Structure 1
Amino acid sequence: MDPRALILVLVAAVAHASWNLLSKKAAQADSLVFIWLVAAVSAVIWSPLFAGFLLVARPRLSWSDLAVIGGSTALHLAYFMLLQRGYGKGDLSVVYPVARGTGPMLASLVAVLFLGERPTAAGVAGIVLVGVGVFLMSGGSGRGDLKGLAFGLATGLFIAGYTVWDSRAVGVFAVAPLMLNYLGEVGRALVLSPAVLGGRRRGLVLATWREHRAGIVGAAVLTFLSYLLVLIAFTMAPVSLVAPAREISVLIAVVLGGRLLAEQGWRHRLLAASVILGGVVAIALS
């Protein structure tokens, strides 16, 4: 893997685990309201950067570009909704590893089988190690663990979907990563607006903002930043390598869940992280 892509992916992993911690802390808030607030705030915060991009690059959007961006928006919306619901049912150190583990394994499988990508033997070994390590981390026997596991698996399907879709968007369709990311935030905010502002949830918006304002702003910044870095990495390396390498974030998330949220069993899951680290090293050397 290109060393520049690996650096981008590792920085993105830290940012990604951090915003998931913030989302978990807001798990008891209405999930649609929280997701809408994060998307809306993100659209506002990053608007100067997007405006500057439009002035400098002067991109032209075709109907096919808009269709690709719309598909990405739909996949990400389902992902965020399932993830936030999952955090209301299970631990960060269960939902996050399972979701992140299912996603890259399926994305890599699709990339190899249908997109013609051919990772080296070390790359294949790394993919396998990352997947095994992530699922070892998700161990647990409580009812909450089983619910978290189910939501994690469902979320992982959409992670695989948007990973492959977005890699093609910035690769084959040459949609600028910044445009895909920003318009995705705007799209989620617009799609959710009727449900949030037109019904009973409207009264929850101000209360949710007051209680979780710092988390909303933090998630708005880190969500956008983490995925922008990954999209840029997609232009430097194949999806079958980028997708698994970013899963170093599960190690960070398990530590955050154990140390900051006092989740049980995190030390056992931390031991399993050594398997993931081995996978990341293998991928980086492939």
Structure 2
Amino acid sequence: MSLVALVLVFSAAIAHAGWNVLAHGVSRAGYPFLWWGAVSSTLVWIGVVPFTGGIGTGDVGGFVLGVLVSSVLHVTYMVVLQHGYRVGNLSTVYATARGTGPFLSVIIAMTLFGERPAPVALVGVAVVIIGIVAIGFVDRAGSPAPAIPDSLPAPGRRRIDPGLLFGLLTGVTIAVYTIWDAFVVRAHGLSPVAFMVGTAAMQIPFYSFAVRGRWAALAAFGRLEWRRILAFGILSPLSYILVLQAIRIAPVALVAPLREVSVVLVSLFGAFVLREGRPAWRVGAAAIVVARIALLAV
């Protein structure tokens, strides 16, 4: 993996961790936050499109198809993730999703794109994924059990932890949108900025349907949380734009796991700033990930 790609993905991880830290708590507001996030992402970045090559070298039809499918996949990802947070343990869902997504992305990329990273790089990928999952389960051990909705069976009759189930489903959606976006950007020569703006804009109708009838509350939410919404609008698209740029010059099998280093950064923030539990375990798991990143540069 080239140094340029490594810098792009690590910068993306920093941007992703940054908006998660800045939007800590408010992102759990659900659809109102997602609606404002899509709107702010579109408005902040649409003015940059003319200065970054327009839609790229591809045709308009390919661009439209690409952003339409991608927007559906990204909305599906958010809906599944939000539902997982409602019925399962937050850390279990997050850890399972962030471990499963990169793992599946690696397998699919090697199968569909014929990518063959060096063996030592694949070892690095495996260790990074293990470290990310370990961080999540450190959190799980110290987190209270979620309330059980009436629609779910009692613990004695539950066959599978819903956090694991929806974490797995979220990981599948991460892998699918990662592979689709990589394919479209590469095959149609699309600009990552234009593609990200188009995808964000196409999500607005979906979220508008979800918040229908609550426009006054939505406006009040925007006035109250505009700083965090703006931070999301800047940093969230930036993180994925950098990932898409890296995908153009590096294998998806390496980019997908490395972007999840953001989990490490957020976990360290939780340990040292928010004073969350088990700091030694968090730092240890983070050290495993960081120590193996060098293998991905091979």
With normalisation by structure 1, the TM-score equals 0.87
Residue matched to 2:120: 122
TM-superposition CA deviations, 1:32-82 (whole Å, max 9, x none)? 11101011011111121124446x678664323322221111111122334
Quick one: which amino acid aligns to residue 8 of structure 1? L
| Number of aligned residues | 281
Residue matched to 1:274: 287
1:57/1:119 Cα in 2 relative to 1: closer, same or farther (>3 Å)? closer
TM-superposition CA deviations, 1:100-146 (whole Å, max 9, x none)? 22211110011112321111111110111112111211222442496
Residue matched to 2:245: 232
* In structure 2, distance between residues paired with 1:266 and 1:209: 34
What is the deviation of 1:20? 2.2
Larger fraction in helix: 1
Quick one: which amino acid aligns to residue 207 of structure 2? L
Deviates more, 1:79-88 or 1:122-131: 79-88
What is the deviation of 1:223? 0.5
* In structure 2, distance between residues paired with 1:238 and 1:231: 11
Q: SS at the partner of 1:143?
A: coil
* In structure 2, distance between residues paired with 1:43 and 1:168: 22
TM-superposition CA deviations, 1:172-194 (whole Å, max 9, x none)? 22222112111011111133223
Residue matched to 1:156: 171
Deviates more, 1:86-95 or 1:262-271: 86-95
Residue matched to 2:108: 110
1:243 aligns with 2:242: no
Kept in 1, the 8 Å contact 2:80–2:170? The answer is: yes
Residue matched to 1:80: 78
* In structure 2, distance between residues paired with 1:115 and 1:60: 19
Kept in 2, the 8 Å contact 1:24–1:88? The answer is: no
* In structure 2, distance between residues paired with 1:188 and 1:224: 13
Kept in 2, the 8 Å contact 1:72–1:184? The answer is: yes
TM-superposition CA deviations, 1:165-220 (whole Å, max 9, x none)? 11111112222211211101111113322332x32x32320232133222111111
* In structure 2, distance between residues paired with 1:89 and 1:276: 29
Residue matched to 1:25: 25
1:209 aligns with 2:208: no
Quick one: which amino acid aligns to residue 124 of structure 2? G
* In structure 1, distance between residues paired with 2:205 and 2:276: 35
Residue matched to 1:253: 266
What is the deviation of 1:84? 4.5
Residue matched to 1:143: 145
What is the deviation of 1:27? 4.2
User: Identity over the aligned pairs, expressed in percent?
Assistant: 34
* In structure 2, distance between residues paired with 1:26 and 1:57: 32
Kept in 1, the 8 Å contact 2:96–2:133? The answer is: yes
The runs of 5 or more residues in structure 1 that have no matched partner are: none
1:266/1:93 Cα in 2 relative to 1: closer, same or farther (>3 Å)? farther
* In structure 1, distance between residues paired with 2:55 and 2:44: 20
Residue matched to 1:188: 203
What is the deviation of 1:224? 0.7
Kept in 2, the 8 Å contact 1:27–1:84? The answer is: no
RMSD: 2.6
Quick one: which amino acid aligns to residue 290 of structure 2? L
Kept in 1, the 8 Å contact 2:45–2:193? The answer is: no
Kept in 2, the 8 Å contact 1:28–1:88? The answer is: no
